Amino acid sequence: MRIKENLPTIILIALLVILSIVSIFVGVLDINLAGLFQGDTEQLEILVISRLPRLLAILCTGIGMSVSGLIMQQLCMNKFVSPTTGATITSAQLGILIALLFLPQSTLWSRALFAFVCAIAGTWIFVWFIQRIQFKDVIMVPLVGIMFSNVIGGITSFLAYKFEMTQSLSSWLVGHFSMVIQGRYELVYMVVPLVIIAFVFANHFNIVGMGKDFSKNLGVNYNLVLFLGLSIAALITASIVVVVGAISYIGLIVPNLVAMFKGDKLRGTLVDTALFGAVFVLACDILARVVIAPYELPIELVIGVIGSLLFVGLLFYRLKHGRKALRFTSKGKATQAGA
C-alpha cells in the first residue's frame, strides 16, 4: 500500500534523472561519455561551464516556480493565483529596470535586491486588494491580478522607452537558459533554502488558507504567516527572473495538475509539485533545443504554448467542477463551495 501511494513520486524521480542525463548531452556542441571518461579538455569545459550550470538553473526554476505557485494558491484560496497572475513576475521586472536606471553599473546581486523589494511589494499590494473585494469569484481574482500585472508592465514599458532601456531590459522580458553559464546563475541557489522553509511551514500555510478566523482559533498568527508565505514566493520568483527572465504558467499549471491526483494539502503535495515542476521545465527546455536545432527557442515560448493549452483545459475543468459543487440554500440562493 505504501509503495502504491509513493508510486507517482518514484516515477517523477525516475523521469527527472533520465531527463537530466539527456539535458546534459543535448546542445549545439557535442559531448559524449567516451570523451568525458577519456578526459577530453574541451568536453569537460563544456560540461562544467555550460551544461551543468544550465541543468541546475533549470531544476531550480522548475522547483521554485512550482512551489511559489502552490504557496500563493493556498494562501489566496484560489487555484488560478500564481506568480504570473499575481503580479509577482512583472513587479520583479520593474525592480530590475529601476536598478538599471539608478545603478547602471550594478551587479547581478544589486539588481536582485531591487527585484526582491518590488516583487514582495507588488505581491502584497495584489493580495491586499483582493482581500478587500467582498465577492471573490474563482475567475475574478486572477483576472484582477492579470489587470494589475498589465498596469505594472505598462509602467515598466513606459520607463524603458522613456529612458531608452528597452534593449537592456529585453533579457528579462523573455525567459531563456541560453545565457546561463558558470558565474552567472548562482543566485538561483536561493530557491533551495526557501523551498525548505516552505516545507517547514507547510502546515501553517494550510491553516492560513482556511481563513483568518480559523487561524485565530488554532492560535496561528494569520498576518505573520501570510507575510512569510507571500515573501517566500516573491523571493523565489524574483531570484529566477533575475537569472533567466520571465517564465509564465509554471506556477499556475503544475500545482493544479498535481492537486488533481494528490489533493490540496500543501505538505502532501509539495514534494510532488517540486518534482513535477522540474520535470516539466526540463522536458520543455529539451524540446526548445531540438525542435529547430542547431538553433534554440526561448523556453518562455515553449512553455507559453503548452501552458496556454493546459490553462484553457484547467479553466474548463474547474468551471465544470465548480458547477457540480453548487448548492441551493433554503432561500433559493446559489452558493458555491470555495468560491
**Structural contact between residues 182 and 57, judged by C-beta atoms closer than 8 angstroms:** no
315/154: higher pLDDT: 154
Stated as kind and residue range, the H or E segment containing 326 is strand 326-328
For position 335, what pLDDT does the model report? 37
C-alpha distance from residue 8 to each of 73, 141, 324 (Å): 22, 31, 28
Task: Quote the pTM value.
Answer: 0.87
According to the per-residue pLDDT averaged within each range, which of 3-12, 281-290, 329-338 is highest?
A: 281-290
CA 96 to chain centre: 18
For position 311, what pLDDT does the model report? 79
CA proximity to 90, closest of 146, 14, 11: 146
233-261 pLDDT per residue, tens: 999 999 999 988 888 889 999 998 898 88
CA proximity to 68, closest of 89, 90, 91, 95: 89
Residues 6+ apart with CB under 8 A from 238: 88, 92, 95, 112, 115, 116, 118, 119, 120
